[in-house]
Amino acid sequence: MKRKQRTFTDYKDLGFSDKVSNQAGRAINKDGTFNIRKHGLKFLEHYSFFHALLTIRWWKFLVIVLTTYFVLNIVFASLYMITGFENLTGMAQGSFWEHYLEAFFFSTQTFTTVGYGRVNPVGLMGNVVASFESLVGLMCFALATGILYGRFSRPVEKFIYSENLLVAPFKDHTALMFRLANAKNNVLSNVQIEIMLSISEKENETFYRKFYELTLERKRVNFLTLSWTVVHPMDEDSPLYRFSEQDFKEADVELLILINGYDDTYGQNVHARHSYKYNEFIWNAKFTPMFKRSEDEQYTILELDKISDFQLIG
Amino acid sequence: MKRKQRTFTDYKDLGFSDKVSNQAGRAINKDGTFNIRKHGLKFLEHYSFFHALLTIRWWKFLVIVLTTYFVLNIVFASLYMITGFENLTGMAQGSFWEHYLEAFFFSTQTFTTVGYGRVNPVGLMGNVVASFESLVGLMCFALATGILYGRFSRPVEKFIYSENLLVAPFKDHTALMFRLANAKNNVLSNVQIEIMLSISEKENETFYRKFYELTLERKRVNFLTLSWTVVHPMDEDSPLYRFSEQDFKEADVELLILINGYDDTYGQNVHARHSYKYNEFIWNAKFTPMFKRSEDEQYTILELDKISDFQLIG
Amino acid sequence: MKRKQRTFTDYKDLGFSDKVSNQAGRAINKDGTFNIRKHGLKFLEHYSFFHALLTIRWWKFLVIVLTTYFVLNIVFASLYMITGFENLTGMAQGSFWEHYLEAFFFSTQTFTTVGYGRVNPVGLMGNVVASFESLVGLMCFALATGILYGRFSRPVEKFIYSENLLVAPFKDHTALMFRLANAKNNVLSNVQIEIMLSISEKENETFYRKFYELTLERKRVNFLTLSWTVVHPMDEDSPLYRFSEQDFKEADVELLILINGYDDTYGQNVHARHSYKYNEFIWNAKFTPMFKRSEDEQYTILELDKISDFQLIG
Amino acid sequence: MKRKQRTFTDYKDLGFSDKVSNQAGRAINKDGTFNIRKHGLKFLEHYSFFHALLTIRWWKFLVIVLTTYFVLNIVFASLYMITGFENLTGMAQGSFWEHYLEAFFFSTQTFTTVGYGRVNPVGLMGNVVASFESLVGLMCFALATGILYGRFSRPVEKFIYSENLLVAPFKDHTALMFRLANAKNNVLSNVQIEIMLSISEKENETFYRKFYELTLERKRVNFLTLSWTVVHPMDEDSPLYRFSEQDFKEADVELLILINGYDDTYGQNVHARHSYKYNEFIWNAKFTPMFKRSEDEQYTILELDKISDFQLIG
């Protein structure tokens, strides 16, 4: 085996330090996030609630909305209680808890500005609390409007990737190949891919993790409409030249996939990350086609569920 | 006829596989969408409702809004029925259906937070449903606000194209020409055009569809204020060098037009696609002018309805 | 006088046809709009109401909002009249017009969802109209929210320019100079300028208008924080080499200024256009300084009202 | 000491005039704003309230919202007073001030469109004011919605920088080094840095302030995930070649740091500025590591509170 020497131009900084001690876990998780945590600042200083509310799953978002609504109305019902239920007219006769319940529902009517008016504030303090609550309610819904718009208008690129990376003969060499497609119907243009090789190398008896950019047979497509099989030829110029299956394992190889493109529908740039570790490599296999013509020969069908399908060679 | 050999640099990936079996239909439809469908994922996984609501026509959007409003109020009226009409005070005497109708309209008053209050909830369950409905109503209108803003703020580039592509003498050669203009009054700057040739070529007795980028006499204008006649000279460097009308037909030629520019008004990039098939070509014709000076010589008039006008050449 | 020959590379398309017959008016108006009108499509097809509402002046916008509000309430009041005032309970006794007036104000209460409820709908048709009106009202305010956000979030670059363009000695040559500054406090970065020369040239006994890009001593600044004096040296490479005051007039010279930059505050690209005609040129003059240090020497003061100040030379 | 001669290509305009008289204060303040003020236009012409409302601190924003709410309701309560309290029905018996108070709270109910309806307008003028107020209220909340969305959706890059700039041996030379990191959890990609040297130079017996761009060992990272130590080698090509501590002081050296990158989370470009003056330089020191592996070796921990930590060298 001949391993290529690292040259300065090969190297490309991925935002990791260039010489980190050898590490076990992934650099990029399967969901595209970096495997890094930040300490040393107070939680609030590097946490963005708005960001969180934009990106959490829908059911969590709805639970937060409902919980906030419930808690705020409890708070305001308690304020009406503290200022005295006599500040609210129109309440039915009843026990303390029945009054509290009426105050709670009066609070919801004020918060949402529905304001039926059967129960309504008369005294000074009741009016002060109610006018403040209706302001708070409107600001909360102003906020919710923004968040909902933000959630929906974020580019929702959903790239799907072949489960495995295939190692197969390609022209005169061996090549690494994986396949990706855009699962959504929005049009992605000017899609570009970079692959970073994360590899453990020995230097002065110590193992260091280093990063190289791998050359690709093609690194840009005008439109990602069908599937794209990304190919890195392991030729003389590749840092992986003549690597065997065992070499990949020993060097703890991870490929970091960086994708960017332009989303025509949302008018925004999209970015995605993915990674393959050596144990997700399949040797001597090739992908089977994942698109075909429709029966009437009028359009092309892309079969997204076949993206990981491959067949072993010889 | 001499047909140029495909070289690697000529080739430009359009997101189609580079060697697809010869196909009959268009690659890009006249409205700029790709002639491709995606299968294999559940409908919801590659469908974006928000995207759909942004791009459907106005009358469909309004029908959806009205239908949603009607259906949701039916649902909530039924909830008031289930929890018992006695939970709502102020209803007039009447039959079951009259009560249901009053509950329906009470629901609309709650949903829109208009809350007149003649009818209003008294019991626990009536209040629970009503306070939930007003929350749902506000969230729906938050959503509608975002969608309306999204609909209006999307760049509404409307390029218009000459109906035909003309093949005419140009300098020492023949050239392909078509004409486009911006039908809207917004200012488009830095407008660039790429033309992809989709052509059927024979290789080892099989016909394959291949794609080439065509060179243009000019591929960028600073501002698209008047019309732009895009010209591809069919010279020695063109894959269409010395093609005859019959050659275009046999090779099932389609030209894919890719346009991008910057919309000053909306501050966004705009993209458009168009295509011409060989049967939309007119031989030996040239475009007639589509702009003139105003009578008082003070401004230029662009006559958009003349964009397809041409005259045959001797 | 020696006039430089037009070469192909000099030429830069400004979106005007390259050979237009000689014209009198400006190509770009003082406010940066193009002096072009589009005919041939129906008005609505190339008019964007949303765009108009984003860009009209504030008082016009407010007049439109108030008028729309008034007209819509007239419409709905009339609908309540048509369906019968008996569909609204709680109205005071009175004449037809008093009823109509009450219906009008009931309509405003429904449209804005304030819904006091003294007057409220009872019959079927009254309820149908009212529930429809509250929906319309909410959609209108959703729209208004979007438009207000759009109005405020548009980059409001406000470049100010020296009133005149100065022609003065510069190094070994004569040069054209004008001055601009950002009147707003937002930070503009990566600001670039292009100057297009629009000139009337004789060819085969006919005058044609042609466009050249002029080279600038500096065409980009990292930040536009102070004023920027833009300089075109009229050297051997300039199409204006050795032009006299009379030459400028005869050639009906207009300089088109194209500016773009990035607005840090709004996170958007900004574009601006300006123009100078030959009769706005001042010969043998230079700009006087428009910034100074504060008295405590701690910061720099940019005096925007001095941007046009110049002094004659010799 | 040998000081390099300024050449034209070295020079890079920072938006300051290229030859300004020597000045004492900083060019860029520690918070990244420019140390410049604009005079000569009326305040409103170069002040943007919307911009201010987007960027002021939260507590100021909330104070403005509450104050505006209070003041507007005072205004409308006074209008109800002027048009006569008899235009409002349902008010309790009481003194003038009790009526005014009721009018004030009725105003809040109208402004927020909560509209309980116990107090409600009857006469013409009361209705006119109320229907106008509810319109104003909705427009205000439309505005607030936009501002809240704008506040949250602005990229909130928060770069943190080492307190000092270190001067230390680097390869064969001395180098300037500082360290930065992204304190937030959002992913920044394609981060680029430029360093401008602001230096006082003698020319014809006068001191002028000049600006040079400094070359960096690395000026771009794909992702800013960990810390980044930015290094300027003071080699033969540097305008700071062989500068001593005394030279830095005499030349009143300030380094202006310009950072830009792309925020994956918000889909926007981010820009930041920072500066170091000569008195913030530490000689013969190097930074100590600020990241480590987690105990389970599964992820990397970035310790943001250690960003300024350094140790002196021999």
Q: Measured between CB atoms, does B268 come within 8 Å of chain D?
A: no
pLDDT at residue D25, as a whole number: 62
Q: What is the CA radius of gyration of chain B?
A: 29
Nearest C-alpha in D relative to B118:
D117
Nearest C-alpha in B relative to C140:
B145
Q: Which of B39, B87, B258 to mutate to test the interface with A (most CBs of A within 10 A)?
A: B39
From CA C290, how far away is CA C208, in angstroms rounded?
40
**Averaged over D42-54, what is the pLDDT?**
67
From CA D43, how far away is CA D39, in angstroms rounded?
8
From CA C141, how far away is CA C145, in angstroms rounded?
6
Indicate the DSSP class of residue A154. S
Q: Do D145 and A150 touch (CB under 8 A)?
A: no
Q: Do D117 and B113 touch (CB under 8 A)?
A: no
**Chain D contacts in chain C segment 31-60 (CB below 8 A):** none
- Quickly state the pLDDT bin for A32 (edges 50, 70, 90): low
Class of the A20-37+156-312 domain? Answer: mainly beta
From CA A32, how far away is CA A35, in angstroms rounded?
9
Nearest Cα to Cα of residue A150 among B58, B139, D150: D150
pLDDT at residue B135, as a whole number: 94
From CA C14, how far away is CA C11, in angstroms rounded?
9
**Under DSSP, is residue C99 helix (H, G, I), strand (E, B) or coil?**
helix
The C-alpha of B112 sits at a distance from chain C's nearest C-alpha, in angstroms, of: 6
From CA B152, how far away is CA C148, in angstroms rounded?
12
- If one compares A21 and D43, the residue with the highest pLDDT of the two is D43
Q: Do B301 and C37 touch (CB under 8 A)?
A: yes
From CA C79, how far away is CA C107, in angstroms rounded?
10
The C-alpha of D19 sits at a distance from chain C's nearest C-alpha, in angstroms, of: 12
Q: Do D117 and B116 touch (CB under 8 A)?
A: yes
Residues in chain D closer than 8 A to C224 (CB atoms): 15
pLDDT at residue B292, as a whole number: 77
From CA C235, how far away is CA C242, in angstroms rounded?
8
Residues in chain C closer than 8 A to B293 (CB atoms): 21, 23
pLDDT at residue A57, as a whole number: 86
Letter string b/e over residues A234-266, b meaning 16 or more CB atoms within 10 A of that residue's CB: bbeebbbbebeeeebeebbbbbbbbbbbbbbbb
When mean pLDDT is compared across C1-5, C148-152, D169-173, D235-239, the lowest value belongs to C1-5
In degrees, rounded to 5, the angle at the alpha carbon of residue D182 between the alpha carbons of residues D180 and D186 is: 165
Q: What is the pLDDT of residues D17-41, one digit of tens each?
A: 444 444 556 666 766 677 767 776 6
Q: In one letter, which amino acid is B249?
A: K
From CA D3, how far away is CA D118, in angstroms rounded?
83
- If one compares A153 and A252, the residue with the highest pLDDT of the two is A252
| Residue B263 pLDDT exceeds 90 | no
Cβ contact A19:D172 at 8 Å: no
The C-alpha of C229 sits at a distance from chain D's nearest C-alpha, in angstroms, of: 9
Residue B171: left (phi > 0), alpha (psi -120 to 50), or beta? left
Sheet containing strand D300-303, strands side by side:
A36-39, D300-303, D291-293
pLDDT at residue D56, as a whole number: 85
Q: In one letter, which amino acid is B168?
A: A
Q: Do D39 and C303 touch (CB under 8 A)?
A: yes
Say which CATH architecture domain B44-153 belongs to. Answer: Orthogonal Bundle (1.10)
**Averaged over B267-272, what is the pLDDT?**
77
Indicate the DSSP class of residue B118. S
| Residue B94 pLDDT exceeds 90 | no
Indicate the DSSP class of residue A114. -
Please state, for a pLDDT cut of 70, what percent of chain B lies above it: 83
**Averaged over D51-57, what is the pLDDT?**
81
| Residue B252 pLDDT exceeds 50 | yes
Nearest Cα to Cα of residue A84 among A101, A69, A73, A99: A99
- Quickly state the pLDDT bin for B281 (edges 50, 70, 90): very high
- Tell me what the pLDDT averaged over chain D comes to: 82
Q: Which residues pair with residue A121 across a beta bridge?
A: A88
Q: What is the pLDDT of residues B39-61, one digit of tens each?
A: 766 655 555 677 778 878 889 99
Cβ contact D80:D87 at 8 Å: yes
| Residue A303 pLDDT exceeds 90 | no
Q: Do C24 and B262 touch (CB under 8 A)?
A: no
- Tell me what the pLDDT averaged over chain A comes to: 82
**Averaged over A102-110, what is the pLDDT?**
94
Nearest C-alpha in C relative to B100:
C124
**Chain D contacts in chain A segment 106-165 (CB below 8 A):** 109-110, 113-117, 120-122, 124, 127, 130-131, 134-135, 137-139, 142-143, 145-147, 149-150, 154-155
When mean pLDDT is compared across A106-110, A237-241, B65-69, C8-12, the lowest value belongs to C8-12
Q: What is the pLDDT of residues A162-194, one digit of tens each?
A: 999 999 988 778 999 999 988 877 778 888 998
In chain D, alpha helices (H): 49-55, 58-83, 96-111, 124-153, 245-250
- Quickly state the pLDDT bin for A40 (edges 50, 70, 90): low
- If one compares C31 and A63, the residue with the highest pLDDT of the two is A63
- If one compares A284 and A153, the residue with the highest pLDDT of the two is A284
The C-alpha of C141 sits at a distance from chain D's nearest C-alpha, in angstroms, of: 7
Nearest residue, CB atoms, B114 vs list C34, C38, C115: C115
How far does Cα D66 stand from its chain's mean position? Answer: 24
Cβ contact B211:B11 at 8 Å: yes
Nearest C-alpha in D relative to B142:
D145
Which are the contacts of D291, defined by CB distance < 8 A and separation ≥ 6?
A: A17, D226, D227, D300, D301, D302, D303
The C-alpha of B176 sits at a distance from chain C's nearest C-alpha, in angstroms, of: 18
Cβ contact D197:D255 at 8 Å: yes
The C-alpha of A8 sits at a distance from chain C's nearest C-alpha, in angstroms, of: 30
- If one compares D24 and D201, the residue with the highest pLDDT of the two is D201
Cβ contact A103:A137 at 8 Å: no
- If one compares C241 and B186, the residue with the highest pLDDT of the two is C241
Q: Do D113 and B117 touch (CB under 8 A)?
A: no
Residues in chain B closer than 8 A to C127 (CB atoms): 101, 105, 108
Tokens of B220: 């960028």
Q: Do A116 and C116 touch (CB under 8 A)?
A: no
Nearest residue, CB atoms, B117 vs list D113, D117, D145: D117
**Averaged over D122-136, what is the pLDDT?**
93
| Residue D166 pLDDT exceeds 90 | yes
C-alpha distances in Å from residue B236, one per residue of A72, B242, B249: 75, 8, 20
- H-helix or E-strand containing C74? helix C58-83
pLDDT at residue C90, as a whole number: 86
| Residue D130 pLDDT exceeds 90 | yes
**Averaged over A62-81, what is the pLDDT?**
95
pLDDT (tens place) for every residue of chain C, 314 residues total: 344 433 333 334 444 444 444 455 666 676 667 776 777 666 555 556 777 788 788 899 999 999 999 999 999 999 999 999 988 988 887 899 999 999 999 999 999 999 999 899 988 999 999 999 999 999 998 888 888 888 877 766 688 899 999 999 887 789 999 999 888 777 788 889 989 888 888 777 777 777 788 999 888 887 787 789 999 999 988 999 989 999 999 888 989 888 888 887 666 778 888 889 899 999 999 898 887 777 776 777 888 888 999 999 87
- Interface size, chain C vs chain D, as Cβ–Cβ contacts under 8 Å: 176
Q: Do A226 and B55 touch (CB under 8 A)?
A: no
Residues in chain A closer than 8 A to C113 (CB atoms): 113
- Interface size, chain A vs chain C, as Cβ–Cβ contacts under 8 Å: 6
Domain edges within chain C: 20-37+156-312, 44-153
Where does B102-253 show beta strands of DSSP type E? Answer: 120-121, 159-161, 165-170, 173-182, 188-203, 206-214, 220-223, 228-233
From CA A224, how far away is CA A272, in angstroms rounded?
14
The C-alpha of D184 sits at a distance from chain A's nearest C-alpha, in angstroms, of: 4
Which are the contacts of B58, defined by CB distance < 8 A and separation ≥ 6?
A: none
Q: In one letter, which amino acid is B125?
A: M
- Quickly state the pLDDT bin for B99 (edges 50, 70, 90): very high
Q: Do C115 and D110 touch (CB under 8 A)?
A: no
pLDDT at residue D220, as a whole number: 85
Q: Do C267 and D116 touch (CB under 8 A)?
A: no
**Chain A contacts in chain B segment 72-111 (CB below 8 A):** 89-90, 109-110
From CA B75, how far away is CA B63, in angstroms rounded?
18
The two beta strands, B20-21 and B159-161, are unpaired
- H-helix or E-strand containing D108? helix D96-111
Burial category of A20 from C-beta neighbours within 10 Å (exposed 0-12, middle 13-18, buried 19 and up): middle
When mean pLDDT is compared across A16-20, A240-244, C95-99, the lowest value belongs to A16-20
Q: Do A222 and B14 touch (CB under 8 A)?
A: yes
Q: Do C304 and D38 touch (CB under 8 A)?
A: yes
Q: Which residues pair with residue D125 across a beta bridge?
A: none
From CA D197, how far away is CA D169, in angstroms rounded?
20
Indicate the DSSP class of residue D296. T
pLDDT at residue A99, as a whole number: 93
From CA A61, how far away is CA A67, in angstroms rounded?
10
pLDDT at residue D265, as a whole number: 66
**Averaged over B227-232, what is the pLDDT?**
91
Where does chain D show beta strands of DSSP type E? Answer: 20-21, 36-39, 88-89, 120-121, 159-161, 165-170, 173-182, 188-203, 206-214, 220-223, 228-233, 254-263, 268-277, 281-283, 285-287, 291-293, 300-303, 310-312
